[in-house]
């Protein structure tokens, strides 16, 4: 479990600006890890622990709504709604999540 947690720390993931998203679904189709979905409003949303930094989503988005977390504007990182957990996290995974938030300055809470 510790190995899994450290693996989780190593991924930077992506930040989605749902206000820019036009609900085309290209990112959902492109992700090889099924780490993206369209939410109840048809906007792209990240399933946090599924992302493994493939970044195909960044490349295919026609309106540039998705950014690598290290490159995302800070106001995107404070908006609500763009990521959730796909499962209950273990304590080690929660620690990895908090490290990720701190490292990249993500102030938004998961949905």
User: Given the rule CB under 6 A, which residues bind ligand SF4?
Assistant: 16, 21-27, 44, 60-63, 65-66
Whole-number Cα distances in Å, 88 to 10, 21, 69, 91, 111: 19, 27, 22, 10, 13
CB of residue 4 to ligand SF4, shortest distance in Å: 27
Cα radius of gyration (the chain):
13
CB of residue 74 to ligand SF4, shortest distance in Å: 19
Whole-number Cα distances in Å, 20 to 63, 73, 75: 7, 13, 13
CB of residue 36 to ligand SF4, shortest distance in Å: 7
CB of residue 97 to ligand SF4, shortest distance in Å: 22
* Token output for 41: 């409003």
Which C-beta is closer to ligand SF4: that of 8 or that of 65? Answer: 65
Which C-beta is closer to ligand SF4: that of 47 or that of 65? Answer: 65
Which C-beta is closer to ligand SF4: that of 10 or that of 73? Answer: 73
- Contact in structure between 35 and 52 (CB atoms under 8 Å): yes
């Amino acid at each position: 479990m510790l190995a899994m947690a450290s693996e989780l720390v190593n991924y930077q993931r992506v930040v989605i600006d749902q206000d820019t998203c036009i609900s085309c679904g290209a990112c959902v189709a492109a992700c090889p890890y099924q780490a993206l979905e369209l939410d109840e409003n048809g906007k792209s949303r990240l399933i946090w622990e599924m992302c493994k930094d493939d970044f195909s989503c960044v490349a295919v988005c026609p309106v540039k709504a998705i950014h690598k977390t290290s490159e995302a504007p800070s106001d995107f990182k404070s908006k609500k709604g763009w990521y959730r957990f796909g499962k209950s996290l273990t304590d080690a995974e929660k620690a990895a999540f908090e490290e990720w938030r701190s490292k990249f300055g993500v102030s938004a809470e998961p949905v």
